[in-house]
Structure 1
């Protein structure tokens, strides 16, 4: 039976193989977070309108668009939420295990732009040093800022 399956699999190479894989496997959305720092080492924090009360402060975040490089999601989300331009850096977190979501986080460096908040998503922005983070912050984002991120 395995030989027959292998023979059929080899015979349907190309787009049909990809369609079979797509149907047979789980689909995920990819959440991407940016740990954006300025030249002074301060981190960009945003107070998100849609996040739970008491935990609204966090890093710029959003979902990857279809076909988008994940590091470019950070660039796009920061620009959309704040008007600032960033250069993406290294991957600092990759976490799966959620039902339909995978979470990634990248370091990023401020390279320009003018702060102009998206009033629909963002209530407030501030630059903070790692030792003056607000108490009403996402724990996972605090870990990213303090360098406790884990790949895996």
Structure 2
């Protein structure tokens, strides 16, 4: 049986193989988060309308769309939610194990744009010192901020 399956697999090379793989494997959404900092080291936090009321504050976050590279996702999400322009940096976290979701986080640097929030999703946006985050900040985002904090120099 294994030999038969291997022969059939070789015969259907190309797009048909991809279709078979697509139907046979799990599908995931990819959530992309940006730890956005300004030139002073402050971090951008958003008060999200649709998050739990006891934990509304968090980093800019959104889902990747088909064929989008993850660093481009954070650039798009920050622009859509805040009007700000960012330059993505290094990958700082990749987490799986959620039911149908993978979480990716990148550092990002604010490089321009004017703050104008998307009031459908966002209630408020503000810059915070990493050691002075507002009450109600998501724990996982608090960890990302702490773990990616730039070194302090005396």
Measured against the shorter chain, the TM-score band is over 0.9
Deviation at 1:23, TM superposition (A): 0.2
Runs of 4+ in 1 over 4 A off after TM superposition: none
| Alignment partner of 1:60 is 2:60 | yes
State the distance in 1 between where 2:97 and 2:87 align.
Answer: 28
State the distance in 2 between where 1:57 and 1:16 align.
Answer: 45
Deviation at 1:58, TM superposition (A): 0.3
State the distance in 2 between where 1:71 and 1:13 align.
Answer: 31
Aligned to 2:128: 128
Task: List runs of 5+ in structure 2 lacking aligned partners.
Answer: 149-154
State the distance in 2 between where 1:18 and 1:25 align.
Answer: 11
What does residue range 37-48 of structure 1 map to in structure 2 within 5 Å? 37-48=37-48
Aligned to 1:118: 118
Aligned to 1:6: 6
State the distance in 1 between where 2:95 and 2:139 align.
Answer: 15
SS of the aligned residue for 2:17 comes to helix
Deviation at 1:87, TM superposition (A): 0.4
State the distance in 2 between where 1:2 and 1:71 align.
Answer: 41
TM-score of the superposed pair, with normalisation by structure 1: 0.95
Aligned to 1:22: 22
Aligned to 2:93: 93
What is the count of residue pairs matched by the alignment? Answer: 148
RMSD: 0.8
SS of the aligned residue for 2:74 comes to helix
State the distance in 1 between where 2:10 and 2:113 align.
Answer: 51
Deviation at 1:6, TM superposition (A): 1.2
